[in-house]
Structure 1
Amino acid sequence: MPTPNSAAEQGSVAGRRSLEGLRVIDLTQALAGPFCTSLLADHGADVVKVEPPRGDMLRATGPYGDEDETRAYGGVFQSANRNKRSIVLDLKTAADRDVLLQLVDDADALVENFSAGVMERFGLSYEELSRRNPRLVYTSIRGFGDARGGRSPYGSWPAFDIIAQAMGGLMSITGPDENTPVRAGSGLGDTIPALFAAFGTMTALWEARQSAQGQYVDVAMVDSVLALSEVVVNTFAHTGEVPVPNGNQLAGFAPFDTVKAKDGVVTLGAPHNPQWTKLCGIMGRPELVEDPRFATDHARWENREAVYEVVEDWTRRHTVAELIDLLGGEVPLGPIHNAADIFADPHFAAREMLPRVEQPGTGRAVAVPGVAAKLSRTPGAVVRRAPLLGEHTEEILGEIGHDSRAPTAS
């Protein structure tokens, strides 16, 4: 289904997004903060992106199409800032700080990911803003959190995705072996904190409906990654053992890995008795179910080399397409999709996971990741492209009764 871009098309989704009427002031840059606020914008929140005159640093990051001569922003910025409006404010000036305060007066939430102390130096601390707007929910995302949530010895350290993945434990269990730690290929050190920040913001907003009081939501990138690295915590807490990478396997589960086909590789998971029994039947090896080496989940893990030997002896005799026909819908199995495969797969089209928006400077539309949470009555939607720098400055200033000024050119 085409994504609405015109005013008329945008109007067609009015009332169908659950956060309409919510206003969020977005002071974030890079990926973690903008990804958080994009989730709110997808569900109808009016996210006002406040940018410095030079713009969000992510605007200068690709990928760019070859035909994009203006390079107003690349693909990462487009994805993380769709559905938002942009206003340029120079918070180093008293006049623009005053504009921000006026925006905060009518806001429900504010999200920022500055280094610790920056907002205080601007005179825009949580305490100052909450005095003006007691119901304001104030969310910060920092590498090691804010002192308000617990003073970290690393509180002043800067951080990127790879730092969060490393110190949050994810890299210690990712890769082929313990001597080759590997960063997950996507920016999980940013997007996982963004998910927690969006969740924390909405939790605080729900409470504020009852109390009429906002609160501070403190999210640390490393904490967020740790919270999703369940193997690290659970293994050490219960056994005292330090888990190490198992490649594509998951400790305690077999078969649960990639397996070789005649013409490629697929992922396969049949670690529990019902799945294993079904797999053995399809392989024509029902006797394996009674084999004491494979009779229980734990036995299969302890004898995993033998498990993979018998499974791959069968999978290597079939192509990937044949394995999908034989196991698809019966035993958990999936081909390893690259980008081209994803764009061609009917699942993602049916689920509207690749909506298209205009890409400035190209004369064409580009896909962005769609709305993952499908609400039955008030579905979210991607209704507009990411904004040009300062594109809505005049519009937003007019809404607060402030003297308008021309938007900054991008």
Structure 2
Amino acid sequence: MNQSTQPPSQATGALAGLRVIDLTQMLAGPFCTQILADHGAEVIKVEAMSGDGTRSTGPFRDDDTLRDFGGYFQSVNRNKQSIAVDLKNPQGREIVRRLIDGADIVVENFRAGVMERLGLSYEQLRETNPRLVYGAVRGFGDPRSGASPYADWPAYDVVSQAMGGMMGITGPDRETPTKIGPGVGDTVPALMLCLGILAAVYRARETGEGQFVDVAMTDCVLAMCERIVYQRSYTGVVSAPEGNRHPLLCPFGLFRARDGWVSIACAHDGFWEKLAHAMDRPDLITDPAFATNAARVTNAQRVIDTIEGFTSVRTKEELAQCLGSRVPFGPVYTSAEIFADPHYQVREMLVDVEQPGSSEPVKIAGVPIKLSRTPGAVRHRAPLLGEHTADILLRAGYALDDIQQMRDSGTVRQA
């Protein structure tokens, strides 16, 4: 069976046998649970009757007549099953409680207090499922781990990038903080939550006791920007944007090519020597202004001008042939260049999946974590809203008549 069409319930992988109840939406939470699903966990996505808000975000294929979901939702919800439940309905909440009682993990990214108001707090859930690992990702964390003064503030990627310090060291100059392009304020916390959940699952298997796993988006961004902490602590320096340079290493950044930009990183003098030879400038190895990293940092603009004298008259491909195997080097790619590069093909990082309502498959990013014996995979497209409602309820012990009654009353929705 093709990896993009295999049902999620037939998952294999290192996490096969784990059951996850996914109460997340938008990006951070779904990205975390998708990683678990990619590696074999059974992930049941519990959605409101109207669905995750990203279903309507797009982009959509021009010929998509269904428009149940677009690219955003497809890219972070593959390999999952969907059940649509009205959580305002007591019967709907009872369904979710039953599902969680039979699960290893529950993940949510509501504001603090929402699950408590639904009667689904960690403390209530662990009464009937003591092995439960409960993962939560919020902008400023959960009060259980430390009540932030901003605990009630809503947060998205742009907020955590700003307050976690990332924007403060990114930009063309010291006066222009800049947002990082991808949503790393969501995806990095998702990765850290995934790690925390798996650590807690390992512990639960040893002890029989689950625990609460709390991740704050802002905390994770700060941890990723660790340099700003030690620079402030060791030297008193308040870090600021450095443009395409590095404050401690040179050369380490972007350089103009004839048809775009390339990255070159000489983290030690050995790489500088190889770069000097590649440029046919052995004099740069012995020149006191260039010979050591400390000297190059002091004379950074001269170093950059010298390198760009070499790179700016050559194409990215010419520079790749010259530098690619000698020093840390990479062209600045557009998405079109990524699609054309054989690296991403052989690494299975561009995967075709079905797009319901469209006549042609679409590509999404593949699984970056490669395991030799139990590899993860993109087995199935993202689910339609409520696509697996009946099947999930049957496996949870509900009778067909009960399921029909719940459909008729608007408690659940079936695609």
The answer to whether TM tops 0.5 is yes
Q: Name the structure 2 match of 1:408.
A: 413
Cα distance 1:6–1:23, how it changes in 2: closer, same or farther (>3 A)? closer
> What are the ranges of 5 or more consecutive residues in structure 2 without an aligned counterpart?
none
1:308-334 CA-to-partner distances (Å, cap 9, x unmatched) read 122112222322221111111111111
Q: Name the structure 1 match of 2:128.
A: 132
1:261 is aligned, of 238, 257, 271, to 257
**Do the aligned residues in 1 keep the contact of 2:20 with 2:42 (CA within 8 Å)?**
yes
Describe the SS at the equivalent of 1:62: coil
1:36-55 CA-to-partner distances (Å, cap 9, x unmatched) read 00000000000000001011
Task: Tell whether 2:248 aligns with 1:252.
Answer: yes
TM-superposed deviation, 1:134: 0.2
Q: Name the structure 2 match of 1:236.
A: 232
Letter in 2 for 1:117: G
Letter in 1 for 2:5: N
* TM-score calculated relative to the size of structure 1: 0.96
Q: Name the structure 2 match of 1:396.
A: 392
TM-superposed deviation, 1:144: 0.4
* TM-score calculated relative to the size of structure 2: 0.95
Q: Name the structure 2 match of 1:56.
A: 52
> What are the ranges of 5 or more consecutive residues in structure 1 without an aligned counterpart?
none
Q: Name the structure 2 match of 1:186.
A: 182
TM-superposed deviation, 1:261: 2.2
TM-superposed deviation, 1:112: 0.3
User: Which piece of structure 1 moves more, 323-332 or 309-318?
Assistant: 309-318
Task: Tell whether 2:85 aligns with 1:80.
Answer: no
TM-superposed deviation, 1:109: 0.4
Superposition CA RMSD, Å: 1.6
Cα distance 1:10–1:355, how it changes in 2: closer, same or farther (>3 A)? farther
Between the aligned partners of 2:95 and 2:259, the Cα distance in structure 1 is: 61
1:327 is aligned, of 317, 323, 343, to 323
Between the aligned partners of 1:48 and 1:55, the Cα distance in structure 2 is: 14
TM-superposed deviation, 1:231: 2.4
Q: Name the structure 1 match of 2:147.
A: 151
TM-superposed deviation, 1:224: 0.8
Between the aligned partners of 2:35 and 2:285, the Cα distance in structure 1 is: 46
Describe the SS at the equivalent of 2:353: strand
Task: Tell whether 2:105 aligns with 1:109.
Answer: yes
Task: Tell whether 2:309 aligns with 1:304.
Answer: no
Describe the SS at the equivalent of 1:314: helix
Letter in 2 for 1:282: A
**Do the aligned residues in 1 keep the contact of 2:16 with 2:39 (CA within 8 Å)?**
yes
Describe the SS at the equivalent of 1:103: helix
* Number of residue pairs aligned between Structure 1 and Structure 2: 406
Task: Tell whether 2:10 aligns with 1:5.
Answer: no
**Do the aligned residues in 2 keep the contact of 1:46 with 1:84 (CA within 8 Å)?**
yes
1:365 is aligned, of 358, 361, 367, to 361
Describe the SS at the equivalent of 1:257: strand
Between the aligned partners of 2:379 and 2:267, the Cα distance in structure 1 is: 42
Letter in 1 for 2:297: W
1:235-275 CA-to-partner distances (Å, cap 9, x unmatched) read 11211111111112121111112112233321111231111
TM-superposed deviation, 1:408: 2.6
Between the aligned partners of 1:298 and 1:63, the Cα distance in structure 2 is: 48
Q: Name the structure 2 match of 1:204.
A: 200
Q: Name the structure 2 match of 1:376.
A: 372
1:276-326 CA-to-partner distances (Å, cap 9, x unmatched) read 000111111112111111222222111111111221122223222211111
User: Which piece of structure 1 moves more, 118-127 or 176-185?
Assistant: 176-185
Between the aligned partners of 1:128 and 1:10, the Cα distance in structure 2 is: 28
Between the aligned partners of 2:33 and 2:86, the Cα distance in structure 1 is: 21
**Do the aligned residues in 1 keep the contact of 2:4 with 2:381 (CA within 8 Å)?**
no
**Do the aligned residues in 1 keep the contact of 2:29 with 2:107 (CA within 8 Å)?**
yes
Letter in 2 for 1:336: V
TM-superposed deviation, 1:378: 0.4
Letter in 1 for 2:387: E
Cα distance 1:409–1:210, how it changes in 2: closer, same or farther (>3 A)? closer
TM-superposed deviation, 1:383: 0.2
Describe the SS at the equivalent of 2:361: strand
**Do the aligned residues in 2 keep the contact of 1:50 with 1:88 (CA within 8 Å)?**
yes
1:3-49 CA-to-partner distances (Å, cap 9, x unmatched) read 34145x996xx54x100000000000111100000000000000000
Between the aligned partners of 2:6 and 2:127, the Cα distance in structure 1 is: 39
Describe the SS at the equivalent of 2:83: strand
**Do the aligned residues in 2 keep the contact of 1:104 with 1:110 (CA within 8 Å)?**
yes
Between the aligned partners of 2:70 and 2:76, the Cα distance in structure 1 is: 10
User: Which piece of structure 1 moves more, 292-301 or 219-228?
Assistant: 292-301
